[in-house]
């Protein structure tokens, strides 16, 4: 298939970098748009991602592009950040792309928008609706949990501390997906007609994994029993309620309350396809892609005695 010219936003994030690599591996020409200079081994154009005018002037420059790929996402998920980035920046990108006559838009979203209880989920859904109504050919990719989001306890377990689970450790499950496998899936959306005008939930290779499964895998990889400490879900609710009250007089506490709400959501909701009719998550219905597995990733981290810098993913 003839290579395409792609305009990529969000290339400095982990999923964005993986998508860039996959697009290049497929032979496409890629131009990246960032808010500051970045070494990405391709042409990088710098401008204001929140400005339709800057995107048109500094990004598209009146040139031909076959598709826009957006991997941008708010860092914290806090309401102000989410509406500014997940909705506002993506909307500016969409409007500029329409003005440039670009026919296709591929969006990286998240599977958790199926049950929207948080600001960033509503912001993502609001933009998804704008995209679907845009008249462009669109693909909305909704991945499950990322490896980095599930690797935060490796350091504490190495130190002999217990692996923390909420409730009985089986409240949630997911089919984790690696950055590389996700990037390849997103890149294929550019040329696969079966993925056009479709919402695409996607996970890595199964089966679905619970927190207790993660603890058991770490025990096997470390060659010793990893103790498990069960944390009551009610404790998260108490923390959130306390922070919400404090947030009435302190904006900083109000933001912490939002982050606590995000933490509680991820502690109690699975990252799998939601069956609205059955009111249940469905592992069997959650599509899979790629070959990278979370436990192989754990094995590498342990063998290399390395850690994952999760940044704002730590709130999850």
Whether residue 85 is contained in a domain is answered as yes
Report pTM: 0.93
Contacts 24+ apart (CB under 8 A), 24-28: 25/187, 26/187, 26/188, 26/190, 26/191, 27/3, 28/3, 28/4, 28/187, 28/190
Place of tokens 């002037």: 57
Min mean pLDDT across 28-37, 55-64, 96-105, 241-250 is at 241-250
pLDDT number for residue 260: 81
Whether residue 275 is contained in a domain is answered as no
In the predicted model, is pLDDT for residue 315 greater than 60?
Answer: no
Distances (CA, A) of 271 to 2, 212, 253: 35, 15, 28
Structure tokens at 30: 């890629």
Whether residue 141 is contained in a domain is answered as yes
Whether residue 214 is contained in a domain is answered as no
pLDDT number for residue 314: 44
In the predicted model, is pLDDT for residue 287 greater than 50?
Answer: yes
Q: How many CB atoms lie within 10 A of CB 204?
A: 27
Range of the domain at 129: 5-146+179-202
- CATH number where 35 lies: 3.40.50.720
Whether residue 30 is contained in a domain is answered as yes
pLDDT number for residue 258: 77
What φ, ψ does residue 139 adopt, rounded to 5°? Answer: -140, 130
CA distance 12 to 34: 8
Whether residue 274 is contained in a domain is answered as no
CA distance 195 to 179: 19
Indicate the number of domains in the chain. Answer: 1
The β-bridge partners of 228 are: 163
CA distance 159 to 170: 24
Return mean pLDDT, the chain.
93
Q: What pLDDT, in 10s, does the model give residues 11-65?
A: 999 999 999 999 999 999 999 999 999 999 999 999 999 999 999 999 999 999 9
Whether residue 50 is contained in a domain is answered as yes
In the predicted model, is pLDDT for residue 294 greater than 80?
Answer: yes
């Amino acid at each position: 298939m003839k290579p395409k010219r792609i305009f990529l936003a969000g290339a400095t994030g982990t999923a964005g970098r993986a998508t860039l690599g996959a697009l290049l591996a497929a032979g496409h020409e890629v131009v990246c748009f960032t808010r500051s200079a970045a070494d990405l081994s391709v042409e990088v154009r710098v401008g204001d991602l929140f400005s339709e005018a800057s995107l048109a002037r500094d990004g598209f420059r009146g040139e031909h592009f076959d598709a826009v790929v957006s991997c941008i996402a708010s860092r914290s998920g806090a309401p102000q950040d989410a509406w500014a980035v997940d909705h506002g920046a993506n909307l500016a990108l969409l409007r500029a792309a329409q003005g440039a006559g670009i026919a296709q838009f591929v969006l990286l979203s998240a599977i958790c928008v199926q049950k929207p209880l948080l600001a960033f989920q509503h912001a993502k859904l609001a933009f998804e609706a704008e995209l679907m109504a845009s008249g462009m050919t669109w693909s909305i990719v909704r991945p499950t949990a990322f490896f980095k989001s599930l690797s935060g306890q490796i350091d504490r377990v190495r130190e002999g501390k217990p692996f923390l689970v909420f409730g009985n450790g089986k409240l949630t499950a997911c089919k984790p997906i690696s950055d590389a496998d996700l990037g390849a899936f997103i890149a294929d959306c550019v040329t696969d007609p079966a993925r056009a005008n479709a919402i695409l939930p996607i996970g890595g290779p199964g089966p679905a994994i619970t927190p207790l499964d993660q603890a058991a895998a770490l025990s096997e990889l470390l060659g010793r029993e990893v103790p498990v400490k069960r944390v009551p879900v009610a404790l998260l609710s108490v923390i959130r309620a306390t922070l919400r009250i404090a947030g009435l007089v302190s904006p900083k506490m109000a933001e912490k309350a939002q982050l606590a709400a995000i933490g509680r959501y991820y502690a109690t909701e699975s990252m799998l396809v939601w069956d609205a009719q059955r009111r249940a998550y469905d592992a069997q219905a959650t599509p899979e892609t790629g070959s990278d597995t979370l436990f192989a990733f754990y094995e590498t981290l342990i063998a290399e005695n390395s850690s994952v810098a999760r940044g704002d993913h730590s709130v999850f």
